[in-house]
Chain A
Amino acid sequence: MKARIKVTLKNGVLDPQGKAIEHALDAMGFGGVESVRQGKYLELEIAETDEARAREVVRTMCEKLLANTVIENYDIELETA
């Protein structure tokens, strides 16, 4: 099974890298970009075939390592083969 994980900064947490990208887009002439937030995307191939169990184990991975929940949210998508 494939797990797709998006890790994003929580609202209110400053994102200087996103800001820099926003400024670069503006400087390149792409008008109308109101904000940019940068995050991470991870893909995991996991052996677990039960969706509920897979979601639970990936959630634990996110809580313990893949995201820092002080500043980040995570979103898990599972794709069964």
Chain B
Amino acid sequence: MNFQINCRRIVGGNGSGKALVTKQPINFLAMIDTKRYIIKDRNHELYGKSMKDAILVFPHAIGSSVGAYAIYSLKVNGVAPRAVICSNKADIITASGCAISNIPLVDTSEKASSSYIVTGLEIIVDADNKKIIIQTV
């Protein structure tokens, strides 16, 4: 069964994969290991995780304005998420990084995302139609 959540389209396109969910914001410049492309911040919920081919679900970016380049670097190195969902409101760092990297980006309400999306679920982000489709088997 599938069901859908409405979302806002920030960067168009669509992508599908397994959800990688965190409630903590991300500083893309400081928290990503640029050799192994995993989250290197020991205090972060996603410590040790790679975003490769996942649907990244997180509230918003924080800190360095250079975080936008860090998102682009994930794309160039083939380790980017297939789509990104900001579980509150998309921010300028994430929006500009995804726009230049052609990574579909949407945002949705905190309530909708935290009620339905958990790590490991198969998700389709259809940014152009403003839908997040959750496959519940």
A in complex with B: no
